[in-house]
Amino acid sequence: MSLVEIENLRITFPSDTGPVQAVRGVSLSLGRERLGIVGESGSGKSLTGRALMGVLPEHARLDVDRMEFDGIDLTRAGPRQRRRLRGGRMGMILQDPKFSLNPVMRVGAQIVESIRIGDRSLSRAAARARALETLEAVHIRAPDRVFDLYPHELSGGMGQRVMIAMMVVRQPDLLIADEPTSALDVTVQEQVMSILDDAVRSRGMGLVLISHDLHLVSRFCDRVVIMYSGRIVETLPAANLAGAVHPYTRGLLACLPDIDGTAARLPVLNRDPAWAQA
């Protein structure tokens, strides 16, 4: 059974010149696997993830024929049910922990709060023990020390590890990671992605990894969805990227550096080429 089913998702924003459709007819399904969504800025990939989580901007208009999570019709779920799903069975990691963590609360207090929201019967001592165990699981050295730090005292890589810990501590079924490593250097990026991959595998979660980095996604995902101009233009196994046939995917592949460190440029595309309108 699929964990996520989306059919014909459309997201529209008002503008001075009329409605702007940012997501145009996206359909996808996801099991307990690792799905990558790749595209340039403005392609609609992050909006697709936010629609699934129910955290679109207030002025966005959502239309969808079908959107289900583990058999639950999200189009009919009320605010209370959506809140129970978010953070419980569904989690989301954003690009920069500075904008996700509460700056005036210690890291440990935030993780404990997340744990106790899911289980009010759990004592603070038991929640603290679970929080420390999870911090250790995401390869944080001296979890007792990090537990008492404020977010501004964390490095970028450490902050993302804390966010991963906070999202997986309640054992969600689905984790959406939206550009989780784009603000990190290459070495730290590799470490964080390895930790995220271990957490997803060990807990049997479904993962949606949203990124502009096709090379990164191809190494950590099972399938890859390519988005352009609000549409899905191609879906293929991550192990078979070389077999991509769509011109946009081929263009993204052409941008990957070759072994001597040079990189081809992405061909210039028309604003609305024929294949983007199909």
Residues 7-37: tens digit of each pLDDT: 999 999 999 999 999 999 999 999 999 999 9
Q: Which residues of the chain have pLDDT under 50?
A: 262-271, 275, 278
| pTM of the predicted structure, to 2 decimals | 0.86
Tell me the CATH number of domain 4-277, given options 3.40.50.10700, 3.30.230.10, 3.40.50.300, 3.40.50.740. Answer: 3.40.50.300
For the chain, give every domain's residue range: 4-277
CB atoms within 10 A of CB 84: 14
Residue 183, burial from CB neighbour count under 10 angstroms (0-12, 13-18, 19+): middle
Q: Outline where the chain has alpha helix (H).
A: 45-53, 79-85, 107-118, 124-137, 143-147, 156-168, 186-203, 214-220, 247-254, 274-277
Do residues 209 and 34 lie in contact, with contact meaning Cβ atoms separated by under 8 Å? yes
- The 10s digit of each residue's pLDDT in 125-150 is 999 999 999 999 888 889 999 999 99
Residue listed under structure tokens 């992605």: 193
Question: Of 69, 72, 67, 1, whose CA–CA distance to 31 is shortest?
Answer: 1
Q: What is the C-alpha to C-alpha distance for residues 109 and 247, in angstroms, rounded to an integer?
A: 49
The whole-angstrom separation of Cα 193 and Cα 10 is 30
